[in-house]
Amino acid sequence: MLSQKVVGKLNEHINLEFYSSNLYLQMSAWCEIKGLDGCAAFLRLQAREELGHMHKLFKYVYETGSLPVLGDIAAPPVEYVSISDLFNKVYDHECHITREINALLNASAKEGDLSTVNFLQWYVAEQHEEEHRIQQVLDKIRIIGESDTGVFFIDRAVGGMIRK
């Protein structure tokens, strides 16, 4: 049995994961249009993973006898200046999600809701992994550089990072 406060915050986070999925799917379209197949595939996979995060929360809420509620989801940005601009925005977004997960976990702990605290540990570990993965992409962009040929090699390197 979850408190109403925790249910409200979990529902807010369900929407945030949905937004993350839409954000990365929209970013993948920008990459496709620019001929960056590797980056597009990487972001499509990221979008699918975010949907998985959303479904995991959705299931947790109804399994505890509460009602998951979907709200409005904002439209993501469409245009990016460069590949580094795009991935810097991915990184900033992941840091934002990490802060939100931490706040959700702290709020659950304050309510004495140890089940939710335990459930959210998976998200804490996942955020660590995602921030690290995007940092690796940014490192590759910095090392290779964004000349015309550099962008070709960045795309190949990012495509090669896709988890099988």
Backbone angles phi, psi at 46, to 5 degrees: -60, -40
Is residue 57 part of the contact set for ligand FEO (CB under 6 A)? no
Is residue 130 part of the contact set for ligand FEO (CB under 6 A)? yes
Please give the Cα distance from 45 to 27 (Å, whole number): 12
Report which residue's Cβ sits closest to ligand FEO.
Answer: 53
Is residue 66 part of the contact set for ligand FEO (CB under 6 A)? no
Burial class (CB in 10 A: 0-12, 13-18, 19+), 23: buried
Is residue 50 part of the contact set for ligand FEO (CB under 6 A)? yes
Please give the Cα distance from 144 to 141 (Å, whole number): 5
Q: Which of 11, 20, 28, 66 binds ligand FEO (CB under 6 A)?
A: 20
Q: What's the CA angle centered on 29, arms 73 and 130, to 5 degrees?
A: 70
- Please, which of residues 87-106 interact with ligand FEO by CB under 6 A? 94, 97
Min separation Cβ 145 and ligand FEO, Å: 27
Footprint of ligand FEO (CB under 6 A): 17, 20, 50, 53, 94, 97, 130
